Structure 1
Amino acid sequence: MNRGQSFLLLLIALVAVLTLVIVSPFIEYVIASVILAYVLFPFHEFLSERLAPVAEGRSALTVRATEMASAVALIIGSIVAVIIPFVYISFVFVQDLTAIAAGESDIDVVAIEARIAELTGEEFDIEGWLVTTGDVLLDTLFGGLGGILTSALRASLGLALALFLLYYTLMDGPQFVSWLRSMIPLPADVTDDLLTKVDATTRGVVIGHISVALLQALIAGAGLWVVGIPNVVFWTFVMAILALLPLIGAFLVWGPAAAYLVVIDEVTAGILLAVYGVAVVSMVDNYARPLVIDQQAHLNPGVILVGVFGGVYSVGFTGLFVGPIVIGVLAATLETFREDYDTM
């Protein structure tokens, strides 16, 4: 390696570090826009093809305008179908969490404490435990009550950035993939094989594990709402995270919720919730997860779990997707090396 190559590599490393420093405050929104673009791109292609006859025989500028119309339509659809519901759920979640931290939860704490004392002869401060848990979650997620406004402002800026990036990613995604292919110093067939594996892994994680977990949480949340469990949005959000745990995830919420109903003498509702959890919620995990995920991602659920928690800790909310994808990309790379270069 000559001096010119060494200098260029050093310059690339330096600029890469500076770029990471600049992007890092909004890295989770950048990642979210890329993931959403990945999910929406097949719809963008379909919509562009449907609009293509209108632009047939016209200039490249007109074709570009047709693609712009498709991207804008999908962004508006994403705002209505994804962003607005997510903002509302986040608002209700923060409201419920603040109420729990202030000791104003709708949970019948007195009845629970009385029943525990009756069964065990010991007194437990359930309300104090809930307040402490709420405070810890507020500090961890938002930096306390004072950080909620700052987090909301940062989220507004991040969402605006994500929408702009979503537009440009939809418009120029194929060109970026082509550039990426040209930059990978591997034979064309090996590059195609690697990118195919990465695509299958990413699709399995994004549309597989996460979608199944969200579906299971929503179904379980509907059951909690029907039987009258308080703070339903909060517990549904918790189940969306726990549902990434195979078999026992969502049960850690709806199981105690059924017991809570029995404790406060709503026995029928508790039994109905337990039956609903076993017959409906658990079936989503038992049947949908292997059907949707294992055929695409080819990752062990334990590996997915490690990626989820590590990703959330490192990146934030989008780590739910990023962690398993990164581990999946590592697995795809190792598999490609084994198939194409391991001659021993």
Structure 2
Amino acid sequence: MELETAIWVGVSLAILYLTWQTVSPVLSPLIVAVTLTYILYPLHERLSSKIGNRWSALLITGILTVLSFLFILGFALWINDVKYSLAGYVNTFFKWLLGLNLPAEAYDFLQRLSRAITDRFDAYVLGYTYSLPKLSLQVIVMVFSFYGVLVNAKAIKTEVYSLLPPSNRELAVKLINRAGETLHQVLRGWLLVSVGKGIAMAVAFSLFGVSNVGGSIAAGILTAILELLPVVGGWMVWLGASFYLFTSGMIGHAIAISLYGFTLVSPLPDIFLSKRLGRRQWGVNALVSLVGIFGGYIAFGFVGIIIGPVSLSLLITLIEEWKRAKNTKEQIAS
């Protein structure tokens, strides 16, 4: 019996190893596919009630496919301009930030963060610039995975809950709910709004002649990054652009981009969205999101923006559950 158990354990480990080796090269597009499914599922539900589940999934997947290959085209055309412009923006921002009277620990952390962001971005650019077929393949995997997850979302949810262990089902449900709350906070709230502001800023840089297409995209990326941080935000980007235009003698454009940025980027949108995005403040939640997003990015790349906050929120849930169980035992013992 023990020999049979050992054999089955060995077979199971071998299967898990082979599965991991098969899935790991496409893990990033799979995570992106699941993330996009989570973001777009409310839209899918509304469309499904009108045109059916499968047609809704096909329509959304078709739009995503077109946008994805437009992204590949833009990547091939503008990635070098984006790289150099973003590096310049990031260096300027961190140079200003490091010039403030900061504690030594904060200064060292910001220096490491600046280098890590630049190095990670360079690694991504180099990895894909010379291998556009690899990027195209990952996009194809992402699109097909997105359709499969979207059209079978309810069945997948039912299957996941059916696999929960009966002995620790309550804890497993808490972990799933906490992951869902974090995804909702980070993706449908914080990250989605930040990306929207980044797109608005990219349009502004191109519209008002601040930079070329690559520089405008870089400004949008920087805006999205700054919007993830407490206190600072996209207002720093449009303020810098306004100052640049003003000193260049383009006073009308400087005023226009200031009004545009104030109205569509920051801080006016934050005033209207503050109630709906109430967790975006100084405190534990903001700290967890901040550490999770940037720590996840440094460790795992762009998908780490998703992995980091979710993993930290699950860790907090486990700690809270452990403390609750400990307190319960102490109360029973007393």
TM-score class, shorter-chain normalisation, is 0.7 to 0.9
Q: Give the aligned residue type for 1:281.
A: V
State the secondary structure of the residue aligned to 2:232. coil
Residues 74, 267 of structure 1: CA spacing in aligned structure 2 closer, same or farther, 3 A cutoff?
closer
1:103-252 correspondence runs (5 A): 139-143=122-126, 148-150=129-131, 152-185=132-165, 186-230=167-211, 231-252=215-236
Give aligned-pair identity as a percent. 24
Residue 68 of structure 2 is matched in structure 1 by: 83
1:239–1:250 contact (8 Å) kept in structure 2: yes
Between the two proteins, the alignment pairs up a number of residues equal to: 292
The Cα shift of 1:148 comes to 0.9
Residue 11 of structure 1 and its aligned partner are, at CA, apart by: 4.5
8 Å CA contact 1:75–1:167 kept in 2: the answer is yes
* Helix, strand or coil at the partner of 2:229: coil
2:277 aligned residue:
292
In 2, distance between residues paired with 1:16 and 1:239?
41
Question: Which deviates the most, 20-29 or 221-230?
Answer: 221-230
Aligned to 1:259: 243
Conserved? CA contact 2:64–2:143, under 8 Å: no
Distance 1:318 1:33 in 2: 11
User: 2:120 & 2:298 partners in 1: Cα distance?
Assistant: 14
Q: What letter corresponds to residue 69 of structure 1 in structure 2? A: W
CA deviations 1:8-43 (Å, max 9, x no partner) are 455444433432232222211010111122233344
- C-alpha contact 2:179 2:313 (8 A) present in aligned 1: yes
Contact 1:201/1:325 (8 A) holds in 2: yes
TM-aligned CA distance change 1:4 to 1:304, over 3 Å: farther
Counterpart residue number, 2:58: 72
Please report the TM-score for the alignment, with normalisation by the length of structure 1: 0.70
Amino acid at match of 2:153: G
Q: Distance in 1 between matches of 2:235 and 2:275?
A: 18
Q: Deviations over 1:122-170 (max 9, x none)?
A: xxxxxxxxxxxxx9787432228xx5131x2111101111122122212
Deviation at 1:179, TM superposition (A): 2.8
Q: CA RMSD in A?
A: 3.5
Distance 2:178 2:120 in 1: 37
Q: Which has the larger radius of gyration?
A: 1
Distance 1:322 1:270, change over 3 A: same
CA contact (8 A) 1:246 1:285 kept: no
Secondary structure at the aligned position of 1:300 is classed as helix
1:115 paired residue number:
none
Measure, in 2, the Cα distance between the counterparts of 1:224 and 1:37. Answer: 31
Distance 1:68 1:234, change over 3 A: same
The Cα offsets for residues 152-207 of structure 1, whole Å up to 9 and x where unpaired, read as 21111011111221222123333333332233224555544443332222112110
Question: CA offsets per residue over residues 58-109 of structure 1, 9 Å max, x none?
Answer: xxxxxxxx643332222113234x42554455345415237769xxx9xxxx
CA contact under 8 A between 2:76 and 2:129: conserved in structure 1? no
Q: Are the structure 2 counterparts of residues 294 and 275 from structure 1 closer, same or farther at C-alpha, using a change threshold of 3 Å?
A: same
Q: Which amino acid aligns with 2:29?
A: Y
Residues 78 and 280 (structure 1 numbering): CA distance in 2 closer, same or farther, change over 3 Å?
closer
Contact residue 312 and residue 318 of structure 1 kept, 8 A: yes
Indicate if the aligned counterparts of 1:209 and 1:289 stay in contact, CA closer than 8 A: no
Among 307, 332, 338, the alignment partner of 2:292 is: 307
Q: Tell me how far apart the structure 1 counterparts of residues 292 and 178 of structure 2 sit (CA, whole Å).
A: 18
In the alignment, the residues of structure 1 paired with residue 13 and residue 233 of structure 2 have an alpha-carbon distance, to the nearest angstrom, of: 42
**Structure 1 residue 336: deviation in Å?**
4.7
The 1:178/1:4 distance shift into structure 2, 3 A limit, reads farther
Structure 1 stretches lacking a partner, 5+ long: 52-65, 106-134
Q: Which runs of 5+ in 2 are unaligned?
A: 89-117
> CA separation of 1:216/1:46 partners in 2, compared to 1, >3 Å: closer, same or farther?
closer
Superimposed CA distance per residue, residues 233-268 of structure 1 (whole angstroms, 9 cap, x where no aligned partner) = 221122222321123132443332222223323344
